[in-house]
Amino acid sequence: MTPDQPAAPRSRQAAASGRPGPLAGAAARPRPAVSRGGERSAAPARPQSGRGKAAATTPQGRDKAGKGRQSAPRVPRRPAIRAPRRPSKGSLLDALRGAQQRAKKAWDRPLTAYYLILGGAALITVLGLVMVYSASQIKALQSGLAPSYFFRKQLFAAALGGALMLLAVRMPIKLHRAFAYPLLAASVFLMCLVQVPGIGISVNGNQNWISFGGPFMLQPSEFGKLALVLWGADLLARKQDKRLLAQWKHLLVPLVPAAALLLGMIMLGGDMGTAIILSAILFGLLWLAGAPTRLFAGVLAFAGAIAILLIKTSPNRMSRLACIGATEPGANDQCWQAVHGIYALANGGWFGSGLGASMEKWGELPEPHTDFIFAITGEELGLAGTLSVLVLFAALGYAGIRVAGRTEDPFVRYAAGGVTTWITAQAVINIGAVLGLLPIAGVPLPLFSYGGSALLPTMFAVGLLIAFARAEPAARAALAMRQPALRKKLARVRRKTMRRRVKERPSGER
């Protein structure tokens, strides 16, 4: 301390040195407040400062504080057991609303339809390959073939269909529109060849196949579905650009006559199931084109009258109609296939008897790997497996409707709606027949049943939907933004793999 600096109070010196001063205890005491009348009132105690705490921790402070009282032993308290709080109704509703908003936000993303179509079609095709291999082994052995005979053919068709799907994705929309007319002409020509003796082959009473020698056969009516979708979409789009769809003549001609030509050639071979799918595509295109209710109802009534006439004039079709909801094979076992399809679903239970453990495929159920593969799926994978297939088809249908509803291009709208109607109607007819709710129409389950003639055009149609989903402006922008990020990620992976390879080299290598 310099001589010019005044001496600090003793208490402050003591506090600075850490020793208690004479004013340490007094500083911690509350001072009485003086009112205006001169009376003193107790003022609230101020919190202790650092000096008071320092004084209380010294031995002298503890002696002064401990005078007149004794420390009692502390008894530990048991922690109170509280019941878990139950969420109130308001919190549950808020959680549900939040989940609904998150799900709606996820559904509204630009690439949702793209991922649903690509993922749903891929999963249906892969699961179909597994079930074809499981359901066709006994059938192949009974025919003197290798157990994997049908599976290898289906796998080859799936690989070829994958190439066609990739081609459809890469093709521009203008090329799709130009491809519609040659495809329609080729389909009509092949359907004419089916009726030529020596070229056309009858299978299960329906003459709608062309043999190319050996096991390779082709069903032209399956390609007629794709031709009607593309050609009808291009025709309606051109008429909409010219504002001619408001007149019912331009709406029906030449779309309905061309569809009637395809239907007549299919019915000459006796394949009513394919004719029903073709009619569904036609009505789907008319609905998307905005046909008036009276016109739409009139065409539907005319088609229904023709269908009733064709059913009543055929004993085979009448017997199939009588098997709806049957639980017994009936006279001459006319409902044998429908009843054993129900038996297969009943044997599966919740989770099935196991992959490959079906009993109905041992000669009891006809066509276990084609028309009734859904029944074998229910027997081996149970209700869980069949519901999974239904969910995949529902997701594919929803994505197709979304693509058709969000586009501004009329061709894309009609083509996406036609493909969605085709796949959804065929799945409903096949599954309804297996469940005993609809007559057996003899149509395969799309992307799932055995048959290359049905798989190839269907996978090309799925490629159309993928191309249309990618062509949306928002989806195109989202894909463009993800490309740089994907390239960076691939570059990081390559660098990491190169570093690992360098570390794993022996010390003697350079």
The mean pLDDT of 392-404, rounded to a whole number, is: 95
pLDDT (0 to 100) of residue 480: 79
CA 365, CA 375: separation in Å to the nearest integer?
9
Closest CA to 306 of 289, 282, 287, 324: 282
Residue 279: CB partners within 8 Å, gap ≥ 6?
Answer: 259, 263, 303
Contact 49, 27 (CB under 8 A): yes
CA distance linking residue 255 with residue 248, whole number of Å: 11
Assess whether the previous peptide bond of 254 is cis (omega < 30° from 0).
yes
Q: What is the pLDDT of residue 22?
A: 43
Mean pLDDT rounded to a whole number for the chain: 82
> In sequence order, which residues have a C-beta less than 8 Å from that of residue 265 and are 6 or more positions away?
188, 191, 192, 194, 195
Residues above pLDDT 90, as percent of the chain: 52
What helix, strand, coil percent values describe the chain, rounded to 5?
A: 65, 5, 30
Biggest distance spanned by C-alpha atoms of the chain = 133
Q: Is the pLDDT of residue 510 over 80?
A: no
Say if CB 460 and CB 171 are below 8 A apart. no
pLDDT digits (tens, 9 = 90+) for 174-216: 999 999 999 999 999 999 999 888 888 888 778 888 987 767 7
Beta carbons of 322 and 284 less than 8 angstroms apart:
no
Q: Which of 192-201, 366-375, 438-447, 455-464 has the lowest mean pLDDT?
A: 192-201
pLDDT of 360 reads 92
Confidence of residue 296 (pLDDT cuts 50, 70, 90): confident
Q: How confident is the model at residue 278 (pLDDT cuts 50, 70, 90)?
A: very high
What does the alpha-carbon distance between residue 305 and residue 25 come to, in Å, rounded to a whole number?
111
Q: Which of 353, 445, 462, 369 is nearest to 122 (CA)?
A: 462
Give the mean pLDDT of 87-114.
78
State residue 402's pLDDT score.
Answer: 93
Stretch among 52-61, 157-166, 243-252, 438-447 having the lowest mean pLDDT: 52-61
Can you give the pLDDT at residue 19? 46
Start-to-end CA span in the chain (Å): 73
Q: Quick check: 406 pLDDT over 50? A: yes
The answer to whether the CB of 131 falls within 8 A of the CB of 355 is no
CB 335 within 8 A of CB 329: yes
Of the given ranges (83-97, 133-147, 302-316, 417-431), which has the lowest mean pLDDT? Answer: 83-97
Query: In this model, does residue 44 exceed pLDDT 80?
Result: no
Give pLDDT, residue 53: 44
- Structure confidence by residue, pLDDT tens digits, 486-505: 566 656 766 666 555 555 55
Confidence of residue 21 (pLDDT cuts 50, 70, 90): very low
Run of H or E including 228: helix 220-241
pLDDT value at residue 37: 44
CB contact at 8 A, 271 and 217: no
Question: What pTM was computed for the model?
Answer: 0.77
Bridge partner list, 203 = 206
Start-end of H helices in 18-148? 24-28, 50-56, 59-65, 89-107, 112-142
- For 200, the enclosing helix (H) or strand (E) is strand 200-203
